Amino acid sequence: MLRRTLLTTTATMVLLGALAAPVLAQTTLRLVSKDLLTTNPDDVKEIDAIEAALKAAGTDVDIQIIDMPGAGYADALGVMLLSGDIPDIMYFQGGDQKMAEQGILEELNPWIEKSEYIKDALWPHNVDRLSNYPYLLYVYPPRAPQPVIRQDWLDKLGMEPPTTVEEYEALFQAIHDADLDGDGTPGNTLGLSGYGNTNELDSIFNQAFGVTGTWMKDGSGSWVNSRVTDAEKSKLAFYTNLASKGLFDKEYVTNTYDVKEDKFYTGKAGVIFGSSPEVIDIYSGKMRQAHPGEDITLTLLPVPSGPGGKGLAAVDVSKESRGWAISSISEHKDEAFKVLDFMASKQGQDIDRMGFEGEQYTKDASGAVTFTDQISTWYARFFNAANWTPPTPLLSPTAQAALDTVKADFTPDNAFVWPADYAADVDATEQVYRAWVAKFITGQADLAQWDEFVAEYNAAGGARMAEYAATVLDQ
């Protein structure tokens, strides 16, 4: 009885509501992203806030999150898309090229041109990547690993941050020779550690040794991969020399990123690279945790000059390797793009970058923002707009300095997207290169064997790749 009454009342209210207000058409948008889940309250709260802000601005959307496993995300997304289930808004982390070839990804440049916010929020490399590949949008600064050191160690050594490659070696040598970790044994601290490969080092040393981009002209004016140039050889001679003197970590190949970090926090390495300003701040926090009671700050080391020049490594602008896409067959492309455009606005960035008042930050009577401890686990789900500034600094001065370097020092690379039938060559040459670099640095091979490496590289596909590159680069 009671139930029936309730139902009737509800039905009546719905009817009255429908009569009282004009019918607002709500659009359902389906969105899929990596690690954005209906089971994560912060994710749901952010999506709710986006819906509310868009509704206030006249766009009524119901954004439905599609849950996807974080592990194997690219594969899981690919399976769903190939089954014909294509969400309106999709985040890709691999696998997008095949979908673009299928014609299911919308060309974004016309949308961006008429956007209200995104066009002003792009980083320079975003513009270049979109012009080469218009299907993915990833509004974040380029990754440019930069080195940091404990300021108290620099002080103990009485040294200034190095500005040349020679001064870098001198700093690494001084770290090595001193007993900065205070275990009573000089000579057991590395100047520099790394992990996996030498990409991080290349970030500041490529240009210093004249490795200006992926493709360079040789003495005869032919395009060659920079991997097999004299500039690369002189850079590797620098790395090899550091390793042979105990200044660079010969275990870098087997180090994982946390092993690298651990050597830094425990004083077994004086300098490591942070992959982004945010990561540099994480290093600062972990360093302080490892040394409670000490007031340790990290200092950013500059991009050095060398015999070949100076600058951050050239940035690959062939395409975004990850990012947001819109379905070209969506019936709601306008609304889907409005969501992305909103995320580049000040209001959207305030939500995406700072979280929520009373949780990640507080506001006083004057409106001044103070971040709480919860900000340390908050992260942007969508964008890091180039034109957004937080009301209170989000980054430490050291991390901000790293971001300023990235902003001031952008060089586009001349790498391009390989056709599918070069995939095996690209993989094989990369393996040959990595293996030889490791052999040179650990001393298993001598740089006198350089020609042997070049021959193996070219045989593994390097020669065929260079022939193709010439047809692209000479256009």
Shortest gap between Cβ of 176 and Ca ion (angstroms)?
A: 9
Query: Considering beta carbons, is residue 191 or 323 the nearer one to Ca ion?
Result: 191
Minimum distance from CB of 166 to Ca ion (Å)?
A: 24
Which residues have C-beta within 8 Å of that of residue 180, sequence separation ≥ 6? 153, 156, 157, 189, 267, 270
Provide, rounded to whole angstroms, the least separation between the CB of residue 188 and Ca ion.
Answer: 5
Report the residue number, 140 or 248, with the smaller CB distance to Ca ion: 248
**H-run or E-run covering 86:** none
Least separation in angstroms between residue 270's CB and Ca ion is 11
Our CB check for Ca ion shows the closer of 179 and 456 to be 179
The answer for residues whose C-beta is within 8 angstroms of residue 445's C-beta and 6 or more apart is: 436, 439, 453
Q: How far apart are the first and last CA of the chain?
A: 80
Local structure of residue 461 (DSSP, 8 states): I
Contact status, residue 139 vs residue 384, Cβ threshold 8 Å: yes
Shortest CB 155 distance to Ca ion, Å: 17
- Of 417, 419, 325, which Cα lies nearest the Cα of 103? 325
Residue nearest to Ca ion (CB): 179
CA atoms within 13 A on the CB side of 330: 24
DSSP label of 142: P
Q: Which is nearer to Ca ion, 184 or 219 (CB)?
A: 184
Of residues 112 and 269, the one with the C-beta less far from Ca ion: 269
Distance CA 471, CA 468 (A): 5
Q: Measured from the CB of residue 161, what is the shortest distance to Ca ion in angstroms?
A: 22
Q: Minimum distance from CB of 262 to Ca ion (Å)? A: 16
Instruction: Kindly provide the b/e burial profile for residues 188-210, where b requires at least 16 CB atoms within 10 angstroms of the residue's own CB.
Output: ebbbbbbbeebbbbbbbbbbbbb
**Closest approach of Cβ 179 to Ca ion, in Å?**
4
> For binding to Ca ion (CB under 5 A), which residues are involved?
179, 181, 183, 185, 188
Least CB distance to Ca ion at residue 182 (A):
7
Q: Give the pair of three-digit tokens for residue 187.
A: 């000579």
Which CB, 5 or 185, lies closer to Ca ion?
A: 185
Longest Cα–Cα distance in the chain: 93
Nearer to Ca ion, 176 or 381 (CB): 176
Region of 207 please: left (phi>0), alpha (psi -120 to 50) or beta. alpha
User: Helix 423-442 to helix 230-244 angle, to the nearest 10 degrees?
Assistant: 40
Q: In terms of CB distance, is 181 or 230 closer to Ca ion? A: 181
Closer by beta carbon to Ca ion, 103 or else 187? 187
**In the complex, what is the shortest distance from the CB of residue 243 to Ca ion, in angstroms, rounded to a whole number?**
19
C-beta pairs of 327-331 under 8 Å, 24+ apart in sequence: 327/86, 327/87, 327/88, 327/89, 327/90, 327/104, 327/105, 327/106, 328/103, 328/104, 328/105, 328/106, 328/107, 329/86, 329/104, 330/86, 330/88, 330/106
Q: Which residues face 97 on adjacent strands?
A: none
Beta strands (DSSP E) in 168-239 are 190-192, 215-217, 223-225
Token representation of residue 374: 């919860």
Residue 183 or residue 467: which is nearer to Ca ion going by CB?
A: 183
CA 172 to chain centre: 27
Cβ at position 398, least distance to Ca ion in Å: 25
**How far lies 276's CA from each of 69, 219, 366, 444, 471, in Å?**
26, 36, 32, 32, 35
Nearer to Ca ion, 192 or 380 (CB): 192
Minimum distance, C-beta of residue 177 to Ca ion, in the bound complex (Å): 10
Mapping DSSP to helix (H, G, I), strand (E, B) and coil, where does residue 28 land?
A: strand
Nearer to Ca ion, 188 or 444 (CB): 188
